[in-house]
Amino acid sequence: MHWTTELLSSALAHVATQVSTGGPAKAPATPARPKRPLIPGVLLKFVMALSGAVLVLYLVVHMIGNLQIFWGPTAINGYAEWLRTLLEPVLGWEGLVWVVRIALLLSVVGHIWAATVLALRAKRARPVKYAAGNKVKGSYTARTMRWGGVIVLLFVIYHILDLTVGVANPVGEHLRPYENITAGFAPDRWYITLFYVISLVAIWFHLKHGLWSAIQTLGRSSNRREKTLKAAATVFTTVLIVGFLIVPISATFGWI
Amino acid sequence: MKVNLRVWRQTDPVDKGKMVDYTVEDASEDMSFLELIDVLNEKLILSGDEPIAFDHDCREGICGACSMVIDGQPHGPERATTTCQLHMRKFPDGATITVEPFRAGAFPVIKDLIVDRNAFDKIIQAGGYISANTGSAPEAHSTPVPKAAADRSFAAANCIGCGACVAACPNGSASLFLGAKLTHLGEMPQGQPERWDRVVNMVETHDDAGFGGCTNTGACATACPKEIPLDVISQLNHDYLKATVGGRRKK
């Protein structure tokens, strides 16, 4: 296809080197090609898609569980207790919770590791920026995946300190989610609620692209299905995020 | 019409290069973008300057030789159009147009607007073909191809291998190119015997050449002068998954 280019390029490169250096004394101009990557990029994307899927499944359960707060303190505190009794005969008290936590940790580590490797490769693959800017940008959600992901990670760390460990929460009592939530999102702590809202919007952006992208990465998208899949991803993400949002907002406005 | 050009000038692969301003006073709106540079080059030669080096061949939009990023868009602002088919009437009189080479680690600049696209040839060599015994052509009806498969194969075969997808991709990935070749051959009965080796070998060669990974931004499909659909990348992932994790590829 580009056999002409190939012939031309070697000849041109030769001539060009001589022009600039005044002789063949200088080392050949071809830049060093990177070594073979250990893991193909496509496989790293599979890691991202599958670990992302685990995290999304967890978010669905998490969101539905949160809604118990609208049934009062006994409902949600009882739910927290019940989660720890699940499969107790086999795994012991809180056993399943720890199994889920380890699965989540592995998924998060896998997701971030693959993203970092791919981001570093992408940086090498596009070392020079366009003087006129890149006008063919692609979707906004896709372009904000990396930094958006960092924001989501920072939020998750704070969220765990707030409502799992309890150190960032004014009550922070174990197995008392109702008290923790209502105190954590109390009206005078509106800035915490605002932080949660902004973070959840960031997650909305991340998932809106991530869900569809995962389907494409797993080879399940097609021209015919692309629009439907994208719409389904948007609806799913919106329902999920609204489900999360109403809890802190309701706590701040005293609707619980 | 008058056109102001800001063109990337680089004498050779080691030169740092810079943007240089030129003005063409007597451009015609019926000129193609390449003809505009031809006219500018004639003036440069007459005034003893080095003409701007750029790739071109058929000037019919079918060979994939012309490249350049015009105002931040590979092949310029018009959809589904190569640089050679882009006409000056698409620009306002007195426009200032920035012209740069394709930017990608795997496409090093050779001179001015010419980049080395051998990486694409290496990907094709790794599997972008079918092996067929030569001889008289077989009876066409002896190999039935479903209409939908033929259409999809044709749409993917529109790829002219110009590299605009790589130039547009924020990750410098050639996934659209890869996907186009894999879909083009993979939809055909003749492409089946080598299908699973093809995908693995082509993906490995792609990564070796220093192209990045796909983040499904869709910039490639927007920039593509042949409108290769984004779903060929889904096909690429699908085939790769089947060949490796699915164990279809015989070692």
| Tens digit of each residue's pLDDT (9 = 90 or more) over B113-131 | 999 999 999 999 999 999 9
pLDDT exceeds cutoff 50 at A177:
yes
User: Whole-prediction pTM value?
Assistant: 0.90
Return the exposure string of A131-147: e unless at least 16 CB atoms fall within 10 Å of the residue's CB, then b. bbebbbbbbebbbebbe
pLDDT tens-digit profile of A26-76?
Answer: 444 455 555 667 899 999 999 999 999 999 999 999 999 999 999 999 999
pLDDT tens-digit profile of B157-175?
Answer: 999 999 999 999 999 999 9
Who's near A110: CB < 8 A, 6+ residues apart? A47, A48, A51
**Mean pLDDT over the full length of chain A:** 88
Are the Cβ atoms of B218 and A142 closer than 8 angstroms? yes
- The mean per-residue pLDDT over the stretch A112-131 comes to 96
Q: How many CB atoms lie within 10 A of CB A56?
A: 17
User: B135 to chain A, minimum CA–CA distance in Å?
Assistant: 23
Q: Which domains does chain A have, with CATH numbers?
A: 38-126+139-252 (1.20.1300)
Are the Cβ atoms of A137 and B219 closer than 8 angstroms? yes
Q: Single out the residue of B17, B127, B41, B33 nearest to residue B74, CA to CA.
A: B33
Angle between helices A95-125 and A73-85 (to 10 degrees): 90
Provide the residue ranges of all domains of chain B, joining segments of one domain with +: 3-110, 118-130+145-243
Are the Cβ atoms of A2 and B64 closer than 8 angstroms? yes
**From the list A132, A216, A219, which residue is nearest B71 (CB)?**
A132
Judging contacts by C-beta atoms under 8 Å, the chain A residues touching residue B226 are none
Which B residues 96-155 touch A at CB under 8 Å?
A: 98, 100, 103-106, 108, 110-111, 114, 116-118, 120-121, 124
**From the list B212, B240, B242, which residue is nearest A126 (CB)?**
B212
Assess B223–A contact: CB distance below 8 Å, yes or no.
yes
pLDDT exceeds cutoff 80 at B181:
yes
Prediction ipTM score: 0.92
Cα–Cα distance between B73 and B163 in angstroms, integer? Answer: 12
**From the list A36, A118, A226, which residue is nearest B208 (CB)?**
A36
Q: Pick A138 or A129 by higher pLDDT.
A: A129
Whether the Cβ atoms of residue B70 and residue B33 lie closer than 8 Å to each other: yes
Q: How many CB atoms lie within 10 A of CB A70?
A: 13
Best of B75, B171, B196, B249 to substitute, by most chain A Cβ atoms within 10 angstroms, is: B171
Are the Cβ atoms of A136 and B219 closer than 8 angstroms? yes
**What is the band of A25 on the pLDDT scale with cuts at 50, 70, 90?**
very low
**What is the band of B250 on the pLDDT scale with cuts at 50, 70, 90?**
confident
Are the Cβ atoms of A41 and B74 closer than 8 angstroms? no
Are the Cβ atoms of B105 and A44 closer than 8 angstroms? no
Cα–Cα distance between A111 and A55 in angstroms, integer? Answer: 10
pLDDT at residue A22, rounded to an integer: 40
CA angle, residues B198, B234, A236, in degrees to nearest 5: 160
Are the Cβ atoms of A41 and B216 closer than 8 angstroms? no
pLDDT at residue A30, rounded to an integer: 52
User: B98 to chain A, minimum CA–CA distance in Å?
Assistant: 6
Are the Cβ atoms of A122 and B230 closer than 8 angstroms? no
Cα–Cα distance between B211 and A55 in angstroms, integer? Answer: 29
Who's near A41: CB < 8 A, 6+ residues apart? A118, A121, B173, B203, B206, B207, B212, B213, B214
- Right CATH for B3-110 from 1.10.357.10, 3.40.1380.10, 3.10.20.30, 3.20.140.10: 3.10.20.30
Q: How many CB atoms lie within 10 A of CB A154?
A: 12
Has domain B118-130+145-243 been given CATH number 3.40.50.80? no
Maximum Cα–Cα distance across chain A: 85
Are the Cβ atoms of A136 and B72 closer than 8 angstroms? yes
Best of A121, A136, A139 to substitute, by most chain B Cβ atoms within 10 angstroms, is: A136
Judging contacts by C-beta atoms under 8 Å, the chain B residues touching residue A219 are 234-242
pLDDT at residue A109, rounded to an integer: 98
Cα–Cα distance between A181 and A159 in angstroms, integer? Answer: 11
pLDDT exceeds cutoff 50 at A15:
no
Cα–Cα distance between A100 and A252 in angstroms, integer? Answer: 29
Are the Cβ atoms of A6 and B104 closer than 8 angstroms? no
pLDDT at residue A37, rounded to an integer: 76
